[in-house]
Amino acid sequence: MSCNLKLRLAEGKGVMMWGKMTDPYSQLIMGYGANSNINGIGHKSRAQFNGPRLIGYPESHDEERIMYRAVTFGSDAVSSHNVKDLNTALSRMSAIGAVSLTIPGPKMIWHFAALGMDISIFTCNNGTVNEPGGTDGDCKLDTKQQPQWSENWLSNPSRKKIYDDWARMNALKINEPVFEGDYTITSGSLTPRIDIFDTNIPTTQLRNVVILANFDVVSQTVNTNFPIAGNWVDLMDSSGNSTYSAATINLAPGEFKIFGNQAATLSTDVIAIDYNILQLYPNPTSNFFSLSTEVKEVRVFAVTGKQVKQFTNNNIKTNVFSVTDLKTGIYFVRIQDSENKIETKKLFIN
């Protein structure tokens, strides 16, 4: 039995395929130029694809976290920009988004990469890391720590910057028609360049985007080679007031720029992020959970609908809700906030 999966491509239908690019993006974030060609993130690198149906990704459930590789194996050749330093590695993740998320076609962000997840996929239950190939297994299926909740990563400025930058990149891609157009990728070095363009769009609108990045551990001067003369707008600046027209630009290590021939149509409201969204963490847990905002009442229910816990004012004040007496399973936490709004969160106890 066979089927023609190309039959309805003109309707935007068909099968999308995965595009693994973990190794070259790992090389970039670690600061190594060898084997850093990222052309494969786009569908044009695959001869069989005549449309943007490749889901490219730097990370997945089955590939090592590039942040873990950065802090473990990254370049430490320059002390002022030691990639093995956590904050230095985090500062390079925004540039990873710039040279992956922006390219036309679907992309995958895996499990809190937008917050710089740096826990190895080979982390064992006891916190050690077993690299694959050993006789004692690789621990890939072991339960992993989830520090993004317990440490409230959104309150960490280095991690929040990645989140904000990637959010704006995604908003640009969703809202600006040029990102449905064509592209070229110039890569294989530590200063990759991406050109995105749509010649059907008039030059009075955003029709050309130039993305420049420096993954070296020292500053680099790169050619802008803007395809249209005049001032180019820094699209990561929501005010639209930052412009550039010079033939070269100096990029600090880990720095990137996304330039457009015109300002984006995005308002700052388009990418407003509500950091007051109620969060329950850690989840899963075996001991306790906390909440990200002030609440008035907290009750826990089993999947049968039976209430199994109700927390007192003292628990609410300390923001520590013990669940050590509950059996492993799924529960529902009913939360009433200070404005009497009620929200229910699913809680996993292991």
* pLDDT (tens digit per residue) in 207-266: 999 999 999 999 999 999 999 999 999 999 878 789 999 999 999 999 999 999 999 986
Residues 162 and 239 in one domain: no
Average pLDDT over residues 27-38: 97
| 86 shares a domain with 171 | yes
Residue 269 lies in a domain: no
Structure tokens at 330: 């799924």
| For range 314-318, the mean pLDDT | 78
- Do residues 302 and 255 share a domain? no
For position 312, what pLDDT does the model report? Answer: 74
Structural domain includes residue 71: yes
Place of tokens 């030059």: 203
Q: Are residues 143 and 213 in the same domain?
A: no
Q: Which structural domain range is residue 86 located in? A: 11-175
Q: Do residues 16 and 120 share a domain?
A: yes
| Same domain as 231, residue 125 | no
The pLDDT assigned to 157 comes to: 92
What is the reported pLDDT for 10? Answer: 58
> Which of 115, 150, 175 corresponds to the end of one domain?
175
What is the C-alpha to C-alpha distance for residues 283 and 273, in angstroms, rounded to an integer?
22
User: Are 170 and 52 contained in the same domain?
Assistant: yes
Choose one of 175, 200, 220: the last residue of a domain: 175
Mean pLDDT, to the nearest integer, of 271-277?
Answer: 53
At 38, is the pLDDT very low, low, confident or very high (cuts 50, 70, 90)?
very high
Average pLDDT over residues 103-107: 93
Using CA atoms, how far apart are residues 50 and 341, in angstroms rounded to an integer? 49
Is 270 part of a structural domain of the chain?
A: no
Report the percent of the chain where pLDDT is more than 70: 91
Per-residue confidence band for 143, with pLDDT thresholds at 50, 70 and 90? confident
Does residue 342 contact residue 320 with C-beta atoms inside 8 Å? no
Residue 1 lies in a domain: no
33 falls within a domain: yes
37-61 b/e (C-beta count within 10 Å ≥ 16 → b):
bbbbbbbbbeeebeebbbbbbbbbe
The two three-digit tokens of residue 229, written as one number: 């003369």
Q: What is the mean pLDDT of residues 172-191?
A: 95
Same-domain pairing of 191 and 226: yes
Does 190 fall in a domain? yes
Q: Quick check: is 27 in a domain?
A: yes
Residues 94 and 208 in one domain: no
pLDDT grade for 86, boundaries at 50, 70 and 90? very high
Q: Are residues 147 and 63 in the same domain?
A: yes
Look at 83 and 283; give whichever has higher pLDDT: 83
CB atoms within 10 A of CB 14: 15
Q: Mean per-residue pLDDT for 322-329?
A: 91
Q: How far is CA 248 from CA 172, 201, 221, 222, 244, in A?
A: 24, 26, 6, 5, 10
Distances in whole angstroms, Cα of residue 91 to Cα of each of 53, 81, 83, 85, 327 = 30, 10, 9, 10, 41
Q: What is the CATH number of the domain that holds 322?
A: 2.60.40.760
Tell me how far the alpha carbon of residue 109 is from its chain's centroid: 5
Higher pLDDT, 250 or 45: 250
Pairing label, strands 17-20, 54-57? parallel
Reply yes or no on whether the pLDDT at 87 is more than 60.
yes
Query: 172 and 179 in contact (C-beta within 8 Å)?
Result: yes
- Whether residue 241 is found in the same domain as residue 149: no
Q: What's the pLDDT score for residue 2?
A: 47
- pLDDT, residue 136, reads 66
Q: Please check whether residue 271 lies inside any domain of the structure.
A: no
Looking at the fold, whether 249 and 309 belong to one and the same domain comes out as no
How many domains, in total, are found in the chain?
A: 3
